[in-house]
């Protein structure tokens, strides 16, 4: 490996994917120079969201897919982490294939998933095929990923088992009760999700149950952990923000129940019980050995994603939590999911003699070695995605066109706007108009679309 720091670029399209991509880069290349790119779109994070994530870069720029590829052809990067939805990953892979159609000195391309993979498994994986490494967050995921690739006759060699890069924090210490036994939970965190459940009625029900739990247990503090403020978007669209539902809640929220923002890791530092429908926060909580409940109130369904937690020991209803249940994760299930309980009061990366509490970086050892070996190669072959104009002639062109790329992966005319010769005022005006358009879109999703839907039901 070169003695100088490797140059790493991360391209992300939302706040959570930026967090995953930047932390993954740290795990794969501990000593690196990081350049960040935010893919321009509906979920481009705000400055507040990026600050909440708490992961910075040496430089951070907002770009389109075509602009990123244009810069990739001119700047020298050793590793590129694609923290994107599947279609965007596919567009970048075909764009890099157009840049380097033959073996060349190009960056190592890495991609993966930001959390639990419970839907669109084949679609998402095949859109990621062609990267040098497709990271799987657990042994369970790695086996599923390889089965999909092998099932279509594609090379599965890129699949590499790792773990979620943001698992960390100290092992949970229960509050002391009488006689030295563990006491009741003092702080309950309900980690909500932007689009699960989807309907207003279901989301209002869950909020009402959280408020009811707070009223039944006045000695507990119930925190409704929100992902974004109204007007902001994350990976998934949120048509019915809990902030607005709370304003309409009969009787309002009790004094010991409140809405909170902030970094999930910091919120978990003081949690005694984590409640969610299917958020990846459950895995963060289980890593710390915090009692964790995956709600069954709305059923155990693929659409909710809580079916992923079958066998986890965490499935529970609000009624059971009201009665005092504090679910504990099944250790065999946790191991299969790549969740290693934190050791003692140390962080996830601290040394340990217990194999079950091995440092998280150990889960990245194979991937780190692979990245280092590929980065040291003088020439790398051209990316070879499964989807081509031969295997998917009715699908691939549409994906590329959405990112202003031609069917051969080259940028469409006018897709790349050169900043040279453009005044600063014009650049600022364009950025302002772009932000206004994005705000109008988000307003339409959260305000106008639900209203039109309700009118249509009259």
Q: How confident is the model over 3-15, as pLDDT tens digits?
A: 578 999 999 999 8
pLDDT at 409: 97
The yes-or-no verdict on residue 180 having pLDDT over 60 is: no
For the chain, percent of residues with pLDDT exceeding 70? 83
pLDDT at 361: 57
Structure tokens at 300: 């155990």
Residue 321: band (very low, low, confident or very high) from pLDDT cuts 50, 70, 90: very high
**Farthest CA pair distance, the chain:** 75
- Per-residue pLDDT, averaged over 381-401, amounts to 98
Residue 355: band (very low, low, confident or very high) from pLDDT cuts 50, 70, 90: very low
d(CA 326, CA 316): 9
Phi-psi region of 376 (alpha: psi -120 to 50; beta: other; left: phi over 0): alpha
**Residues of the chain by 3-state class (helix, strand, coil), percent to 5:** 40, 15, 45
Helix (H, G, I), strand (E, B) or coil at 174: coil
Residue 184: band (very low, low, confident or very high) from pLDDT cuts 50, 70, 90: confident
Half-sphere exposure of 247 (CA within 13 A, CB side): 5
pTM: 0.85
Structure tokens at 56: 């910075």
Which stretch of DSSP H or E encloses residue 189?
A: strand 187-191
pLDDT at 227: 81
Cβ proximity of 300 and 272 under 8 Å: no
Average pLDDT score over the chain: 87
What is the secondary structure of 310-366 as a DSSP string? TTSS-EE-HHHHHTT------HHHHHHTT--PPPTTS-TTS--S-GGG--GGGGGHH
pLDDT at 56: 76
Cβ proximity of 263 and 221 under 8 Å: no
d(CA 425, CA 429): 6
pLDDT at 347: 37
- Residue 108 sits at φ, ψ, to 5 deg, of -75, 130
pLDDT at 435: 54
- Per-residue pLDDT, averaged over 314-323, amounts to 98
Please tell me which residue, 440 or 20, carries the higher pLDDT value. Answer: 20
Q: Which of 124-138, 172-186, 408-422 has the highest mean pLDDT?
A: 124-138
- Residue 386 sits at φ, ψ, to 5 deg, of -65, -40
**Residue 457 CA, distance from chain mean position:** 34
User: Looking up tokens 């003081």, which residue turns up?
Assistant: 270
- Per-residue pLDDT, averaged over 153-165, amounts to 97
Cβ proximity of 170 and 347 under 8 Å: yes
pLDDT in tens, 251-279: 999 999 999 998 899 999 999 999 999 99
The yes-or-no verdict on residue 207 having pLDDT over 70 is: yes
- Pick from 217, 244, 226: nearest CA to 445: 244
**CA torsion angle 163 164 169 173 (round to 10):** -70
Q: What are 129's strand-pairing partners?
A: 131
Sign of dihedral through CA atoms 322, 257, 187, 216?
A: negative
- Per-residue pLDDT, averaged over 303-325, amounts to 97
């Amino acid at each position: 490996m070169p003695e100088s720091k490797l140059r790493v670029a991360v391209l992300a399209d939302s706040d959570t994917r930026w967090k995953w991509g930047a932390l993954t880069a740290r795990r794969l290349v501990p000593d690196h120079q990081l350049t960040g790119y935010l893919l321009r779109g509906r979920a481009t994070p705000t400055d507040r969201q990026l600050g909440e994530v708490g992961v910075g870069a040496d430089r951070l720029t907002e770009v389109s897919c075509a602009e990123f590829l244009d810069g990739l052809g001119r700047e020298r990067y050793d590793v590129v982490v694609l923290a994107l939805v599947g279609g965007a990953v596919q567009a970048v892979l075909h764009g890099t294939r157009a840049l380097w159609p033959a073996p060349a000195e190009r960056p190592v391309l890495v991609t993966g998933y930001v959390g639990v993979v419970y839907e669109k498994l084949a679609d998402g994986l095949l859109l990621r095929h062609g990267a040098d490494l497709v990271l799987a967050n657990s042994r369970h995921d790695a086996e599923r990923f390889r089965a999909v690739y092998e099932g279509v006759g594609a090379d599965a060699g890129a699949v590499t088992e790792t773990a979620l890069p943001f698992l960390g924090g100290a092992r949970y210490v229960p509050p002391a009760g009488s006689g030295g036994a563990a006491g009741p939970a003092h702080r309950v965190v309900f980690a909500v999700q932007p689009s699960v459940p989807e309907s207003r009625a279901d989301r209002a029900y869950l909020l009402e149950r959280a408020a009811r739990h707070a009223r039944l247990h006045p000695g507990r503090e119930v925190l409704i952990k929100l992902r974004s403020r109204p007007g902001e978007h994350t990976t998934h669209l949120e048509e019915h923000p809990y902030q607005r539902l709370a304003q309409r809640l009969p009787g309002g929220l009790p004094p010991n129940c409140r809405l909170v923002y902030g970094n999930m890791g910091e919120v978990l530092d003081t949690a005694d019980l984590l409640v969610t429908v299917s958020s990846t926060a459950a895995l963060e909580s289980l890593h710390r050995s915090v009692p964790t409940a995956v709600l069954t109130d709305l059923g155990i369904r693929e659409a909710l994603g809580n079916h992923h937690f079958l066998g986890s020991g965490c499935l529970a209803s609000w009624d059971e939590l009201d009665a005092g249940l504090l679910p504990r994760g099944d250790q065999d299930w946790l191991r299969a999911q790549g969740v290693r309980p934190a050791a003692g009061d140390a962080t996830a990366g601290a040394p340990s003699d217990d194999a079950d509490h091995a440092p998280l970086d150990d889960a990245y050892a194979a991937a780190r070695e692979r990245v280092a070996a590929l980065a040291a190669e003088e020439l790398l072959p051209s990316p070879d995605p499964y989807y081509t104009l031969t295997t998917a002639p009715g699908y691939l062109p549409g994906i590329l066109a959405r990112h202003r790329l031609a069917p051969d992966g080259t940028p469409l005319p006018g897709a790349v706007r050169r900043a040279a010769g453009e005044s600063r005022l014009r650049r600022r005006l364009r950025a302002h108009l772009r932000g206004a358009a994005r705000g109008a879109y988000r307003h339409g999703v959260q305000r106008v679309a639900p209203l039109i839907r309700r009118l249509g039901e009259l």
